[in-house]
Structure 1
Amino acid sequence: MIAMKDQVGQEHRFETLPKRIVSLVPSQTETLFDLGLEDEIVGITKFCVHPYHLKATKTKVGGTKKVHLEKIKLLQPDIIIANKEENTLEIVESLKGICPVWVTDVVTLDDNIQMIEDFGNLFNKRTEARKWIDKLNFAQRDFMDFVKDKNSYKAAYFIWREPFMVAGRDTFINELLKLNKFVNVYENREERYPEIELKKIRIQGDPEVVFLSSEPFPFTEEHAFEIGRFTHHGKTVFVDGEMFSWYGTHLYKAFDYFKQIHERLS
């Protein structure tokens, strides 16, 4: 008998080790693969692109906001891995009739470590999980040593257009901005992803760096020009959205990427 609580406090009990996994979040699919669970993964979303070959070898069950219940049912999963932010409560509730739905909630770096440790315990991959946790902790310490003498910048991180939206408080993106010594000018807003008016961006804090993400909205030079008209001296930096928003083992690649951003800014 395995009895564990997920990151939203749900109690789960399994008579045997869960062997058939449906993963509804791209970064979690990659993490499960990195823990040695490729054979156990039977269903993924159309956005699960790492590692790329899974798109050809696993059943696609929809996106993160809309899933095909019947496809998932036919896969006869033992467990479905979802996320509080990526998947809606409605989706999670509708899937509970098929099998247990394990929900992660990753806002901080500690939450990320907890998620990997939970997967290690849940799927009997404790050694693999420990190796990844050690790698991530080492990479984080190395990065913190690298960044300690770097300049701090006021920043805004754009994720969407029409309406313009930015990353705010209590988000994994904001956690990584803080790790980089970027002061998020929208951190004091109540919403996690506030809609903003470009003409008020200077009043909000006049960011020195404006990050335009590649996902979920693919910003272009045209959009940079549009936003740049309203910032005083802000420097625009196009960034790989995966590096700032994908948690799990993907974070390991992000630390070197962040170093490159600091080199560009200096």
Structure 2
Amino acid sequence: MRVVSLVPSLTEAVAVTLPGVLVGATDWCTHPADLAVARIGGTKNPDVPAIVALRPDLVVANEEENRPADLAALRAAGIEVLVTEVRELPQAVRELGRVLRACGAAGRPGWLDEAEAAWAELPVPGRRSTAVVPIWRRPWMVLGRDTFAGDLLARLGVDNLYAGHAERYPRIPLDELRAREPDVVVLPDEPYRFTVDDGPECFDSPSALVSGRHLTWYGPSLTEAAAVLGGVLSRAAGER
């Protein structure tokens, strides 16, 4: 089986579960750190001829991260493309199982059981917090409705103030973000690499710098994400 992955989360999941199956991945696929495969460009601008030249049996992709035109070009070249959709944790678990089976896994990997258990065993939050979650600056963009990261935060007792917005990633003026007075501002390090200077400089509310891999990736990182995110968010909440 020869697989090319166009999604960092799926790259890590396939590489950890089925070593040697991956033959290509994007430049943004940083885990596992020792992954040695052909690099085929970014998630939004993959090198389609380079992918075709790798002769993959399957390309795994995501409806949000990858462009329909690129996936159509791969299919037109006779390559099978599996496209995932992930908006919440249970869906992520199902989609990971589907991808791994398509890549040749005989059964469900242990890490996926561990991830599901880690999120199922969360304590009931004593007090829920509110948050805004910027994902870009200049212009300021935030998590809106129906996002995987928003679902993870909600499970940790943190409610996204823009979860009811009509758009999934709305542009919101900074003054409006400040005026919402969230309990915490969650600042991931991807796609925009937020730093501590983007918190106190821009917001009166406490800020929580988090790893994008723990907040937005759905793969082996889910085994530790609940504990890591929960710790960071708890410390930020303690600053209120």
Query: Normalised by the size of structure 2, how large is the TM-score?
Result: 0.92
Please say if residues 3 and 103 of structure 2, whose CA atoms lie closer than 8 Å, have aligned partners that are also in contact.
no
Q: Where does the alignment leave 5 or more consecutive residues of structure 1 unmatched?
A: 1-18
Aligned to 1:20: 2
Aligned to 2:93: 113
1:157 aligns with 2:133: yes
State the distance in 1 between where 2:125 and 2:200 align: 31
State the distance in 1 between where 2:226 and 2:34 align: 25
The 3-state SS of whatever aligns with 2:132 is: strand
Aligned to 1:170: 146
Aligned to 2:213: 242
Distance 1:80 1:20, change over 3 A: same
Shift in Å, 1:69 = 1.5
Shift in Å, 1:212 = 1.3
Please say if residues 149 and 215 of structure 2, whose CA atoms lie closer than 8 Å, have aligned partners that are also in contact.
yes
Instruction: Indicate the RMSD between aligned Cα atoms, in angstroms.
Output: 1.6
State the distance in 2 between where 1:197 and 1:102 align: 37
Deviations 1:37-67 (A, max 9, x none): 221100000111101111xx21000000001
Aligned to 2:58: 79
State the distance in 2 between where 1:171 and 1:149 align: 21
Distance 1:259 1:221, change over 3 A: closer
One-letter code of the match for 1:180?
L
Q: Bigger radius of gyration, 1 or 2? A: 1
The correspondence of residues 49-64 of structure 1 with structure 2, limited to 5 A, is 49-54=30-35, 57-64=36-43
Count, aligned residues? 236
Please say if residues 148 and 216 of structure 2, whose CA atoms lie closer than 8 Å, have aligned partners that are also in contact.
yes
Please say if residues 154 and 207 of structure 1, whose CA atoms lie closer than 8 Å, have aligned partners that are also in contact.
yes
Aligned to 1:132, which of 77, 95, 111? 111
Distance 1:123 1:218, change over 3 A: closer
* Identical pairs, percent: 33
Please say if residues 132 and 186 of structure 2, whose CA atoms lie closer than 8 Å, have aligned partners that are also in contact.
yes
Q: Where does the alignment leave 5 or more consecutive residues of structure 2 unmatched?
A: none
The 3-state SS of whatever aligns with 1:248 is: coil
Shift in Å, 1:262 = 4.1
State the distance in 2 between where 1:262 and 1:161 align: 21
Please say if residues 25 and 81 of structure 1, whose CA atoms lie closer than 8 Å, have aligned partners that are also in contact.
yes
Aligned to 1:261, which of 210, 232, 235? 232
1:30 aligns with 2:12: yes
Aligned to 1:217, which of 187, 192, 204? 192
The 3-state SS of whatever aligns with 1:39 is: coil
State the distance in 1 between where 2:173 and 2:115 align: 37
State the distance in 2 between where 1:104 and 1:26 align: 13
State the distance in 2 between where 1:237 and 1:120 align: 33
